[in-house]
């Protein structure tokens, strides 16, 4: 195990991390996009993005795109490289506001968090479409870990914290249990070559209907490229 620092809330840090990783000339067989914040008060990243959208979504969008070439070089016909992105059941109630992705008009911690998790599902489906169109030996899937007992809940109301403390043993997964579906997506032979899936409890599950809107996927991808400052290679793919 080797640690390389990367702050997903900083576009500069992400680019520096990718440079350091590439300098090692290592293959990249599995990328798990797992970092995130939840229900934080309204605040911005150093790049000026609303924190949920900037860290949970745009950070992973940029990181994945900058590592795509390495992933494509590492995958083979029999052993695809794999991208696993961790979303949440909260995406089912999320709404994507393309005209206000930064939640400037009306900020709601719940709404901003749900939007970031919906964006991750839309991103994964569009990414898989592009990978398939290019004939790449890389798959992209999205995972719902379930309700996991971690520090992610530190910004919820105190009443919920008390309820969580009292019931976590019964209703919450342990971090190990919460990681199981991500591990399944990363290494299981059962999903070899399968992409564009929403996985929950190691099972392919239907995501929110809006997540399958291909026009919305395309528009979000194009806007995301503009926001993080990369070229939109997808414009040549139908």
- Enzyme catalytic residues: 113
Residue 219: CB atoms within 10 A of its CB come to: 15
Q: Which of 131, 126, 11 is nearest to 60 (CA)?
A: 11
Whole-angstrom distance, CA of residue 177 vs CA of residue 147:
10
| Strands of the chain, DSSP E | 30-33, 81-86, 138-144, 198-200, 203-205
Taking alpha carbons only, the member of 34, 89, 91 closest to residue 59 is 34
The DSSP secondary-structure symbol of 157 reads: -
Both tokens assigned to 205: 């599950």
DSSP code of residue 209? G
CB 98 within 8 A of CB 220: yes
């Amino acid at each position: 195990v080797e640690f390389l620092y990367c702050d997903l809330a900083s576009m500069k840090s992400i680019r520096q991390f990718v440079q350091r990783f590439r300098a090692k000339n290592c293959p990249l067989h599995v990328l798990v996009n797992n970092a995130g914040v939840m229900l934080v008060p309204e605040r911005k990243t150093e790049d000026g993005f609303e924190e949920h959208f900037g860290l949970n979504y745009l950070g992973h969008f940029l990181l994945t795109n900058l590592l795509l070439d390495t992933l494509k070089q590492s995958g083979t016909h029999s052993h695809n490289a794999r991208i696993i992105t961790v979303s949440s059941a909260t995406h089912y109630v999320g709404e994507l506001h393309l005209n206000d992705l930064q939640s400037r008009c009306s900020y709601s911690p719940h709404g901003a968090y749900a939007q970031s998790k919906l964006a991750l599902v839309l991103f994964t489906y569009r990414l898989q479409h592009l990978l398939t169109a290019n004939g790449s030996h890389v798959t992209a899937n999205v995972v719902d870990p379930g309700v996991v007992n971690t520090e992610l809940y530190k910004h919820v109301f105190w009443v919920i914290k008390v309820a969580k403390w009292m019931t976590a043993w019964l209703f919450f997964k342990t971090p190990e249990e919460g990681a199981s579906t991500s591990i399944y997506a990363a290494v299981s032979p059962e999903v070899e070559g399968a992409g564009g899936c929403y996985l929950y409890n190691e099972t392919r599950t239907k995501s929110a209907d809006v997540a399958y809107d291909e026009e919305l996927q395309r528009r979000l991808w194009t806007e995301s490229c503009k926001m993080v400052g990369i070229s939109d290679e997808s414009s040549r793919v139908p």
